[in-house]
């Protein structure tokens, strides 16, 4: 069923139906994994080199190995299907076309870490995909692959319950600790780490959080072995990746290709190139949080975590956004910043306030009422967010701004004025008695 | 206006509670059920949800205000959500948003006088590969043009 090009989304008609999935060897790998000791499963996944597909590209097997072996508390697995990163639309393909492979991956992961309960967190806007996945899950329950029926089907005492938790429109809930708070019924505020989820996660119990695409890879690794998997694509980031291509391309969509595929290959050969054969001005290679790349520097960039790091960006969720030569980058950056301003949870001051200030400056730039000094001001605000927040949303908001201005400074500067008029002068400052500030305050 | 869960929904609630180790954790699905029954989350709904989930009204309010998909005012029969995030923006998402605004004569978070339509400019809905898009209540309409969008609105008016 699986080839080295097609692991997560094999080309089999109606694979989302449980009967078709079963006919193609479905749920046999869960059985195979249950016969192994959990440590063997973790070891296999570790050796395969499978890295998380949710953004951080952390070794999946290593993450599992952090779970305590002996504990008197229940253990949990959370599956992150929040998929709210702009430019990212891969998990919905798995919910729609191959949900059983995800469920099987969940079963194997639960066995490896010793969890009996798994929560699949799906973003609230995905009504259709929640229904599709729930249908697949119901079928799996009815066929005895999940829940109480597992004893008969697999001949094991191990039991897993899988529940779907529907999000409600908060980007931040894709952050793992925020996701757990959301499942617990709180506002989706990220938590301070440490303690890490493997020590204190859901309800203070050991928890592992994996991305949907990551877990969908797991049954294949069990089936074909770690050597097979690790030989695909880039050795340090093996396997296939679901690349989501959007923006100014002729054939936008999700393309499953081996990791390390050339970025230009994806854009020109698979996504059909840029409409009107225009030049590319800018590409964001991993969802809107990742540093943008210049269109004239794309040659030779491979799409895997290490190569992109070298190129000055990051793989993120592999959501590739392509912008042609006519794109107004100030407008794009203002829109990206508006997104982070809207989605900042408000917990940390640098992010809550900083995103708002960046947006104000960018809106002024878009109106053509800014000077070159404002560019430095903008970068300074971004620098004060970067690294000063509890979760990575701070970096996600700061990076596009910092790197866009750095890499496209010529374009930004060409639209700046030498002097600007401020409609309402800052009255507070002009009224302030600078010699004796306190004395000037009258009530 | 007073709010109590219908008999049918009360039985749904017990199914929801069985998924979680405590009742507080069920507040999000419970709010969804309440919103479906009442149309939006009123103060009475908050008070009732706090009772069934055994948490304070403030905690429920905290959740309601944090997530954008809980409405504290009554949306139109057709809640039109237009994505203007980058991938949609690059494919004329803002033109579609402006066209919808003009056609309905309302701005962001507005409701038409007849209560038929409400409008929301939303963040990325995960339709980047099929951009631009709008969502009407729960249904996605993708690969749109301005004309197609206006046609969708016309069709809804006639239903």
Q: Where are the domains of chain A?
A: 18-230, 240-321, 329-414
CA atoms of B63 and B80, how far apart (whole Å): 23
Residues of A in contact with B70 (CB under 8 A): 168
Among candidate residues B63, A125, B76, B14, the one with its CA nearest the CA of residue B5: B14
Verdict on whether the full-model pTM lies above 0.80 = yes
pLDDT in tens, B115-156: 999 999 999 999 999 999 999 999 999 999 999 999 999 999
Cβ distance A87 to B68 less than 8 Å, yes or no, reads: no
Q: How confident is the model at residue B1 (pLDDT cuts 50, 70, 90)?
A: confident
How confident is the model at residue A343, as a pLDDT? 97
How confident is the model at residue A108, as a pLDDT? 98
Q: Is B61 part of the contact surface with chain A (CB cutoff 8 Å)?
A: no
pLDDT(A438) > 70: no
Chain A neighbours among B 62-121 (CB < 8 Å)? 62-63, 66-70, 84-87, 89-91
CATH number listed for the domain at residues A329-414? 1.20.1440.230
Partner residue opposite B140 with nearest CB, options A128, A163, A185: A128
Please identify which residue in the block is written with the tokens 């639209």. A415
How confident is the model at residue A421, as a pLDDT? 73
A368 or A424, which is more confident: A368
Chain B neighbours among A 98-137 (CB < 8 Å)? 123-128
Residues of A in contact with B124 (CB under 8 A): 84-88, 288, 339
Q: Is B60 part of the contact surface with chain A (CB cutoff 8 Å)?
A: no
pLDDT(A427) > 90: no
Partner residue opposite A335 with nearest CB, options B69, B86, B131: B86
Residues 6 or more apart whose CB falls under 8 angstroms from that of A175 comprise A190, A391, A392, A393
How confident is the model at residue A1, as a pLDDT? 85
Phi, psi of A17 (to 5 degrees): -85, 135
Residues 6 or more apart whose CB falls under 8 angstroms from that of A322 comprise A245, A246, A247, A248, A249, A267, A271, A274, A280, A283
How confident is the model at residue B156, as a pLDDT? 97
pLDDT in tens, B23-73: 999 999 999 999 999 999 999 999 999 999 999 999 999 999 999 999 999
Cβ distance A187 to B66 less than 8 Å, yes or no, reads: yes
CA atoms of A11 and A20, how far apart (whole Å): 12
Q: How confident is the model at residue A432 (pLDDT cuts 50, 70, 90)?
A: low
CB A364 within 8 A of CB A374: yes
How confident is the model at residue A367, as a pLDDT? 92
Average pLDDT over residues A397-406: 97
CA atoms of A304 and A286, how far apart (whole Å): 10
Q: How confident is the model at residue A425 (pLDDT cuts 50, 70, 90)?
A: low
Phi, psi of A373 (to 5 degrees): -60, -30
Average pLDDT over residues A208-227: 98
Average pLDDT over residues B16-20: 97
Architecture of domain A18-230: 3-Layer(aba) Sandwich (3.40)
Mean pLDDT score of chain A? 95
- Kind plus residue range of the DSSP H or E element containing B139: strand B139-141
Ordered by where they begin, the domains of chain B are 7-66 (1.10.10.1590), 78-158 (3.40.30.10)
Peptide bond into B132 cis (omega under 30): yes
For residue B61, give both structure tokens: 């309010």
Residues of A in contact with B85 (CB under 8 A): 86, 288, 335, 339
Q: Is A272 part of the contact surface with chain B (CB cutoff 8 Å)?
A: no
Residues of A in contact with B122 (CB under 8 A): 125
pLDDT in tens, A331-364: 999 999 999 999 999 999 999 999 999 999 999 9
- Counting one residue from A and one from B, how many pairs have CB atoms under 8 Å apart? 134
A161-166 vs A76-81, strand pairing mode: unpaired
CATH number listed for the domain at residues A240-321? 3.10.20.600
Q: How confident is the model at residue A161 (pLDDT cuts 50, 70, 90)?
A: very high
Q: Is B25 part of the contact surface with chain A (CB cutoff 8 Å)?
A: yes
Average pLDDT over residues A111-131: 98
pLDDT in tens, A186-198: 999 999 999 999 9
Q: What is the ipTM score, two decimals?
A: 0.97
């Amino acid at each position: 069923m699986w080839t080295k090009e097609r692991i997560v989304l094999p080309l089999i008609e109606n694979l989302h139906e449980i009967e078709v999935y079963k006919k193609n060897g479905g749920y046999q790998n869960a059985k195979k994994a249950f016969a192994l000791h959990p440590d063997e499963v973790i070891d296999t996944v570790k050796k395969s080199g499978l890295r998380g597909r949710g953004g951080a590209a952390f070794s999946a097997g290593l993450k599992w190995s952090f779970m305590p072996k002996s504990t008197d508390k229940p253990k949990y697995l959370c599956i992150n299907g929040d998929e709210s990163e702009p430019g990212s639309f891969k998990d919905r393909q798995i919910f729609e076309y191959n949900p059983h492979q995800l469920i099987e991956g969940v079963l194997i992961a639960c066995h490896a870490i010793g969890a009996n309960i798994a929560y699949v967190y799906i973003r609230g806007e995905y009504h259709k995909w929640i229904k599709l996945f729930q249908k697949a899950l119901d079928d799996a329950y009815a066929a005895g692959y999940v829940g109480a029926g597992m004893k008969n089907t697999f001949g094991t005492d191990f039991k897993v319950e899988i529940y779907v938790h529907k999000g409600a429109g908060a980007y931040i809930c894709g952050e793992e600790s925020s996701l757990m708070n959301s499942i617990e019924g709180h506002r989706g505020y990220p938590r301070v780490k440490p303690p890490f989820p493997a020590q204190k996660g859901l309800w203070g119990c050991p928890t592992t959080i994996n991305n949907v695409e990551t877990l969908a890879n797991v049954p294949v690794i069990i089936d074909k072995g770690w050597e097979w998997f690790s030989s695909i694509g880039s050795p340090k980031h093996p396997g296939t990746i679901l690349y989501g291509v959007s923006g100014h391309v002729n054939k936008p969509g999700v393309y499953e290709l081996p990791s390390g595929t050339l970025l230009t290959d994806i854009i020109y050969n698979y996504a059909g190139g840029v409409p009107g054969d225009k030049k590319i001005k800018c590409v964001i290679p991993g969802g809107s949080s990742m540093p943008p790349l210049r269109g004239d520097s794309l040659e030779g960039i491979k799409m895997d975590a290490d190569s992109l790091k070298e190129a000055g960006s990051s793989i993120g969720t592999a959501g590739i956004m392509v912008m042609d030569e006519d794109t107004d980058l100030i407008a794009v950056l203002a829109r990206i910043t508006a997104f982070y301003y809207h989605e900042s949870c408000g917990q940390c001051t640098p992010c809550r306030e900083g995103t708002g200030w960046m947006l104000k400056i960018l809106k002024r730039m878009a109106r053509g009422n800014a000077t070159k000094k404002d560019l430095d001001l903008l970068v300074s605000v971004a620098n004060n967010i970067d690294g000063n927040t509890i979760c990575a949303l701070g970096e996600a908001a700061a990076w596009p701004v910092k790197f866009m201005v750095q890499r496209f400074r010529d374009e930004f500067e060409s639209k700046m004025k030498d002097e600007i008029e401020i409609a309402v002068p800052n009255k507070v400052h002009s009224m302030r008695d600078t010699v004796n500030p306190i004395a000037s305050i009258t009530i | 206006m007073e709010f109590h869960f219908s008999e049918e929904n009360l039985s749904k609630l017990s199914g929801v509670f069985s998924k979680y180790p405590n009742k507080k954790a069920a507040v999000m699905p419970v709010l969804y059920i309440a919103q479906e029954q009442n149309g939006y989350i009123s103060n009475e709904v908050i008070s009732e949800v706090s009772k069934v989930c055994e948490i304070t009204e403030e905690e429920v309010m905290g959740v309601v205000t944090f997530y954008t998909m809980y409405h504290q005012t009554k949306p139109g029969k057709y809640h039109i959500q237009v994505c203007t995030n980058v991938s949609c923006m690059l494919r004329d998402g803002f033109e579609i948003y402006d066209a919808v605004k003009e056609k309905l004569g309302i701005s962001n978070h507005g409701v038409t006088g007849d209560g038929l339509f409400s409008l929301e400019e939303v963040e990325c809905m995960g339709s980047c590969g099929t951009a631009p898009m709008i969502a009407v209540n729960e249904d996605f309409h993708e690969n749109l043009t301005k004309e197609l969008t206006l046609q969708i609105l016309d069709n809804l008016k006639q239903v």
